[in-house]
Amino acid sequence: MEDARQLCVIGAAQHTDRDGDAPEPLISWERRAHEAAAGLESVLPQIDSLQVVYCHSWPYDDPTGRLATALGAQPRHQVYSGIGGTTPQELVNATAESMLRGELELALICSAEGLATLRNAKRDGRRLPWSHRKSSPFPWDPPHQSELAHNVLQAWETFPLWDTARRARLGASLTADAAEAATMMAAMSQVAASNPHAWRRTAYDAAAVGAPTADNRYVGWPYTKREVAVMDVDMSAALLLATREKADALGVPEDRRLYLRGWAYAEDPASIAERDDMSRSAAMAVAGRRALANAGVGLDDLGAFDLYSCFPSSVRLECDALGLALDDPRGLTITGGLPFAGGPASAYLMHVIATAFDRLSTASGDVLVTGVGMHLAKHVAAVWSGRPGCATLPAPGEAQALQAEVEAQQPRRHVLTTWSGPASVCAYTVAHGRDGAPVQGLLVLDTAQGRALARVHDADLLAEAESTELVDRDVVVTTDGERNVARW
């Protein structure tokens, strides 16, 4: 049943500064807000809700308050988000639920990152003249003690783990698996090449994506630079959201509305080694199926996808979870993906939704959008459409039921901080330095008493790890302080 309080995007804007000298985020938020409200300028002071995606570039003392003042608005509802790739869609989902409850009519969400400008300033020894700085604790949950002990903090070192586990489960060779990933990501670069907002607008073939070279080194093997999200970007976006009833009152044409039809969220264990099956994501499958069901559509009904693409593993596990082919003719991205369109920290989905809005006049069909947060732990899925259709509040207890379904499908493994003795490899990767040389390996191990992490430092073993399948290999682990070290 259609609801007059259903959320729709009635304005969107996005911008990419490629000269490495972007304005400060507060200015970008304000500019994108006015662009999103083009033709509806009078609505900005009327917004009920003002929300800002966490800015990794600059810590403001009062992000939403400063922006509200700049816009001449006094929204009664203000949110400055947490971090993670799911964040923008989570903000939209919460807004949709508030609208369906009759609590909000008009909302604005903004994002901006100046990470390329910040990097350039640090390199040149310059202090940026950005305003209203106030440092605050980084909004994250501390990792598992074993991850801290082994310094497992960077996504480029954890996301390859899922792919090595998946490769072994499928029985693929190292060469074939790498070629599949490179082909998939090269197809995304083709989309980015025609996206005027993409950070990198070069179309690559699979060889240029997957082959390690001086300007395309391995980062976390088996991934090259062109297969990982580029975060040092200067990108900003804004979304103007309204109930269908409010859009009618404002005179917004039906063909300039992007409706949120269905959505869902679920989580895998936050600790990487806790996951029973390292080659699959139960939360992706649960969230994806529920979002489609809530929207009343199936995979065959969709016209396009944007699957979160920070690394090849996120895309491949999403496709596995959805039952979608990696070479589906509809494509897997509408922007070009995070390695090419750009991965502005927690804000990528802002640009996906803005792109979906821009496509209203040129493309038909519903779009399934997914987001991934932290180390493949948080998962969101949403169906966007140019048609209103049905949209209803989640049933009471739905979130808890979805999470219970995940837990039933993906039992948690006990994780040891230290381990000495025999073990078997269930996933691994090799970190490379800026000179392209391998630095150290990271193994996820099955032991007689639970899961464990271990490092590998021996150069010969690192070379072997990149030329021979290590999954299911028996290794011997010793402890070095709080850190495990593996040999074979």
Residues 376 and 288 in one domain: yes
Residues 352 and 248 in one domain: yes
pLDDT of residue 392: 86
User: At which of 382, 409, 436 does a domain end?
Assistant: 409
Residues 381 and 477 in one domain: no
The DSSP code sequence of 162-222 is HHHHHHHHHT--HHHHHHHHHHHHHHHHHHHHT-TT-S------HHHHHS-BTTB-BSEET
Residues 381 and 483 in one domain: no
Within a domain: residue 162? no
Residue 329 tokens, joined: 């003719």
Domain CATH number, residue 307: 3.40.47.10
Residues 379 and 482 in one domain: no
Measured on CA atoms in the order 35, 40, 43, 47, is the torsion positive or negative? negative
Within a domain: residue 236? yes
User: At which of 409, 433, 458 does a domain end?
Assistant: 409
Residues 375 and 469 in one domain: no
Residues 427 and 326 in one domain: no
Query: Beta-strand (E) ranges in 4-105?
Result: 7-16, 49-52, 77-80
Within a domain: residue 125? no
Give residues with Cβ within 8 angstroms of 70, minimum separation 6.
Answer: 26, 29, 30
Residues 360 and 272 in one domain: yes
Residues 343 and 269 in one domain: yes
Give, to the nearest 10 degrees, the angle between helix 282-295 and helix 312-322: 60
Within a domain: residue 283? yes
Mind listing the pLDDT tens digit of every residue in the chain (488 residues)?
578 999 999 999 999 999 989 999 999 999 999 999 999 979 999 999 999 999 999 999 999 999 999 999 999 999 999 999 999 999 999 999 999 999 999 999 999 999 999 999 999 999 999 999 998 888 878 899 999 999 999 999 999 999 999 999 999 999 999 999 999 999 999 999 999 999 999 999 999 999 999 999 999 999 999 999 999 999 999 999 999 999 999 999 999 999 999 999 999 999 999 999 999 999 999 999 999 999 999 999 999 999 999 999 999 999 999 999 999 999 999 999 999 999 999 999 999 999 999 999 788 789 999 999 999 999 999 999 999 988 889 989 999 999 999 999 999 999 999 999 999 999 999 999 999 999 999 999 999 999 999 999 999 999 999 999 999 999 999 999 999 999 99
Residues 324 and 429 in one domain: no
Within a domain: residue 451? yes
Residues 323 and 466 in one domain: no
pLDDT of residue 206: 99
Residues 310 and 447 in one domain: no
Rounded CA separation 233/114 (Å): 6
Rounded CA separation 30/19 (Å): 20
pLDDT of residue 57: 97
pLDDT of residue 452: 98
* Look-up of token digits 């993670």: 84
Give residue 378's domain range. Answer: 7-120+231-409
Within a domain: residue 217? no
pLDDT of residue 390: 81
pLDDT of residue 408: 96
Within a domain: residue 191? no
User: At which of 359, 379, 409 does a domain end?
Assistant: 409
Number of structural domains, the chain?
Answer: 2
pLDDT of residue 1: 58
List beta partners, residue 236.
15, 112
